């Protein structure tokens, strides 16, 4: 090992699979990766030239549903200036993210394609702060737009293919089974052929038959559900998306054979989903099937005005959400994965290891992102250092310090 390596010592370390390691733990970082994890004072620890200390160390958070934090006049264009968001995300513990793209019908196509081109040019590049790992396309084939700008959900297959061709780094696409069932799931089949995870969502009308039809296309692939509870339905006699997201095991009924329940994501601001409903999910699903996301559309600046596809939006007075001006329709959150992590520990009494998994390891696995999201030897050294009250003290990306709390004071 070279002389130039970093040692991070902590009292509690979040490990893979929701486990933790307690005591005096040392994480050795070299060449941007985790080189060793030691629970004793070895000579290697003593010889480190750079040493950091923390109460708690977790993996950097992985936000697989994030719309950006600014950088343009209209939210739709935020990702045309990705560095604006990348440099800010690290202060919230987000070291990797999927850039969420929407496809407004009234927006000129060139602007969408130009933004996709910009994003494709930065995927996987480190050095700007948080790393863009790919794209989460929220649409265009959605049945209920909710707070999204209205798009072309009857888009011809050729145009849909053109969009896919323009974003080879798309990892996840939100798509409505109610809409795609009309074409015998032609678009979902295209996603599966390209290795893109179909995330069923924005669909209040999806029937049991339509959802099962989607899941049966490729039973070996586990589907996902976009922001469970939001813009989707539950019914005790006519199951829809929420029903499918609230169980770890399907009943032994015709049509359900050999199918795996989809993974789910929850917006972690405790506004989009009431804490009691969050508790219902945490009780009904294994923690490794749940990811918490921000669905962030703005920073938490109370009463801030902004544009979203030429619609006027306002941040709520408490700074937690964005709403369409003059309505109560939510159009994204102002929370972060850091807020969700703290809520998991402090409101739901989730252990540090499991809470970290739901904002790091699980979302990384759901999006098929390798080498991030977990503290283990060989992974990228994206690490967060906390005090014992879960105040973020320091963020590392690729073993480099990119945020220190005291420097922000």
What local confidence, expressed as pLDDT, does residue 63 receive? 99
pTM confidence score? 0.96
What local confidence, expressed as pLDDT, does residue 386 receive? 99
Low-confidence ranges of the chain (pLDDT < 50): 409
Residues 282 and 393 in one domain: no
Tokens of 369: 């992102």
Within a domain: residue 1? no
Residues 244 and 352 in one domain: yes
Within a domain: residue 382? no
What local confidence, expressed as pLDDT, does residue 213 receive? 98
Provide the CATH number for the domain around residue 303.
3.20.20.140
What local confidence, expressed as pLDDT, does residue 47 receive? 79
Give the chain's domain count.
2
Residues 281 and 357 in one domain: yes
Distance CA 7, CA 53 (A): 9
Within a domain: residue 276? yes
- Residues 356 and 58: beta-carbon distance below 8 Å: yes
Residue 14 sits in which domain range?
6-58+387-408
Within a domain: residue 381? no
Within a domain: residue 87? yes
What local confidence, expressed as pLDDT, does residue 105 receive? 84
The CA distances from residue 64 to 171, 220, 229, 285, in Å, are 9, 22, 17, 19
Provide the CATH number for the domain around residue 44.
2.30.40.10
């Amino acid at each position: 090992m070279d002389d130039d390596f970093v040692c991070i010592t902590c009292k509690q370390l979040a490990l893979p699979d929701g486990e933790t390691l307690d005591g005096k733990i040392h994480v050795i970082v070299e060449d941007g990766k985790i080189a060793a994890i030691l629970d004793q004072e070895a000579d290697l620890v003593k010889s480190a030239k750079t040493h950091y200390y923390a109460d708690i160390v977790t993996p950097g958070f992985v936000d697989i549903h994030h719309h950006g934090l600014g950088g343009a006049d209209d939210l739709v264009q935020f990702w045309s200036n990705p560095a604006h968001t990348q440099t800010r995300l690290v202060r919230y513990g987000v070291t990797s993210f999927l850039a969420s793209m929407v496809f407004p019908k009234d927006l000129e196509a060139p602007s969408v394609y130009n933004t996709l081109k910009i994003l494709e040019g930065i995927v996987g590049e480190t050095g700007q702060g948080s790393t863009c790992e790919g794209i989460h396309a929220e649409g265009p084939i959605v049945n209920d737009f909710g707070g999204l700008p209205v798009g072309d959900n009857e888009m011809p297959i050729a145009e849909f293919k053109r969009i896919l061709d323009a974003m080879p780094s798309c990892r996840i696409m939100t798509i409505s089974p109610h809409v795609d069932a009309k074409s015998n799931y032609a678009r979902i089949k295209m996603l599966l052929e390209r290795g893109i995870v179909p995330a069923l969502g924005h669909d209040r009308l999806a029937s049991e038959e339509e959802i099962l039809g989607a899941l049966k296309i490729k039973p070996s692939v586990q589907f996902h559900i976009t922001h469970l509870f939001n813009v989707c339905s539950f019914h005790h006699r006519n199951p829809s998306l929420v029903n499918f997201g609230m169980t770890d095991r399907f009943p032994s009924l015709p049509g359900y054979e050999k199918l795996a329940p989809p993974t789910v994501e929850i917006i972690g601001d405790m506004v989009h989903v009431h804490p009691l409903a969050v508790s219902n999910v945490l009780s009904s699903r294994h923690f490794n099937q749940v990811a918490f996301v921000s669905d962030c559309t703005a920073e938490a600046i109370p009463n801030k005005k902004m544009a979203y596809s030429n619609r006027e939006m306002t941040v709520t007075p408490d700074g937690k959400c964005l709403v369409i001006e003059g309505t109560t329709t939510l159009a994204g959150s102002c929370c972060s994965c850091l807020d969700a992590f703290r809520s998991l520990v402090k409101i739901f009494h989730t252990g540090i290891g499991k809470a970290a998994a739901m904002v790091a390891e699980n979302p990384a696995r759901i999006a098929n992102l390798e080498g991030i999201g977990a503290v283990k030897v060989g992974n990228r050294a994206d690490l967060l250092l906390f005090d014992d009250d879960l105040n973020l003290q320091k963020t590392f990306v690729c073993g480099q310090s990119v945020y220190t709390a005291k420097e922000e004071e």
